Amino acid sequence: MPRPPRRLLQDLQAALIYIQPAIYPLAISQQQQFYQHGQQQLCPPLQAPCRCAPSIYEPVAILCEMRQFANALQAIQIARNIRIDSLAIVDTAISSLPANAFNDFTILRKYLKLLPRLRNLRKLYLNRNRISQIQQQAFAGFASREVLLKMELAGNKLTDEALGGGQDVFSPLRSLQELSLETNALTQVPSQALEAQRNTLTNLNLGLNQTLGIGETPIAVIPANAFVHTPSLMRLEMSEAAVDTIELGAFQRTPLIQAIVLNKNRLTKVRSDMFQGLNDLYSWICKQ
């Protein structure tokens, strides 16, 4: 007797459920063999708590977990002369990050999962990490977001779009006093992105933002509203940013400014009215 259509459909579904586990492990096994072969060729022999965790896109990926940070640093010393695609240090207590912890390493991506949990972090240096985008909530989960005073993002690939568009990427950092965006790909002062720091930010470095890719434009103009959201600024560093125009009233938005550094720009004249009302200004440096 032929089976009813519903019973036949159930049998087909059961067959598919049975067949799938037989197919996918084979594919996974083949991939694992490929990764392991690449690991033997590229990844160094690591000691615990670190191990190689390669993938098709990151053949030299190192994972360190569940030990002291010093143990992880010691374990990866053998990889100093190897190009590391990614280094992940997770479930590891990091009481402090040594200044030269990753010197002499070539690491394309670093993951420090417990960094957001540091409660008393006052200074954060993220220089020269090829950062091109900061997610809108990147700092929202930082336990130190209320006490972080200084951040350096120099030598990355941040653009106007990465910091603009009302993203407010820095808004959780309510106590931030010093910010370096030197040597990025900015074409304008990211004033709106710093609105949350209007009462705290005193030191802003936007120098060397003329080192851009082909077809991009350096920061040529400091407009009148450039610092409308950063009235507490006390020091402005914009050396080698290719500035050729400062609009009237630009610095009047920062009445507490004490030092302005505009070395090696394209200014041909400086008007006296640029500094009107700046009673605390004691240093104006504009060398060619």
Sign of CA dihedral 37, 38, 39, 44: positive
Cα separation values, 92 from 34, 110, 232, Å:
30, 14, 38
In sequence order, the 6+-apart residues with CB closer than 8 A to the CB of 174 are 145, 146, 196, 197, 200
* Predicted pLDDT at 40: 47
- Kindly list the domain boundaries of the chain, sorted by start residue: 118-288
Q: What is the pLDDT of residue 50?
A: 93
DSSP for 210-272 reads T---TT-----EE-TTTTTT-TT--EEE-TTS---EE-TTTGGG-TT--EEE-TT-------G
Which pLDDT score, from 0 to 100, does residue 260 have? 93
pLDDT at 147: 92
Positive or negative, the CA dihedral 249, 254, 258, 260 is negative
The span from the CA of 258 to the CA of 275, in Å, is 11
Residue 55: DSSP 8-state = -
Cross-sheet strand order for the sheet of 259-261: 123-125, 150-152, 178-180, 203-205, 235-237, 259-261, 283-285
CATH of domain 118-288: 3.80.10.10
In this prediction, residue 212 carries a pLDDT of 41
Please give the pLDDT value at position 259. Answer: 93
Alpha helical stretches, state H, the chain: 5-42, 69-75, 160-163
Of the candidates 259, 205, 248, 255, the one whose C-alpha atom is nearest the C-alpha of residue 232 is: 255
The number of residues in the chain equals 288
Per residue in 59-82, pLDDT (tens digit) is: 888 998 887 888 888 999 998 888
Q: Is 213 exposed, middle or buried (0-12, 13-18, 19+ CB in 10 A)?
A: exposed
The one-digit pLDDT tens for each residue of the chain (288 residues) are: 555 555 544 443 333 333 333 333 333 333 344 344 444 457 888 999 999 988 887 888 899 888 788 888 899 999 888 888 888 887 776 666 666 677 778 877 666 665 666 778 888 878 776 788 887 778 888 888 999 999 988 888 888 888 865 567 899 999 999 999 998 888 888 888 898 999 999 999 998 875 444 444 578 899 998 998 999 999 999 988 889 999 989 999 899 999 999 988 889 988 888 888 899 999 998 887
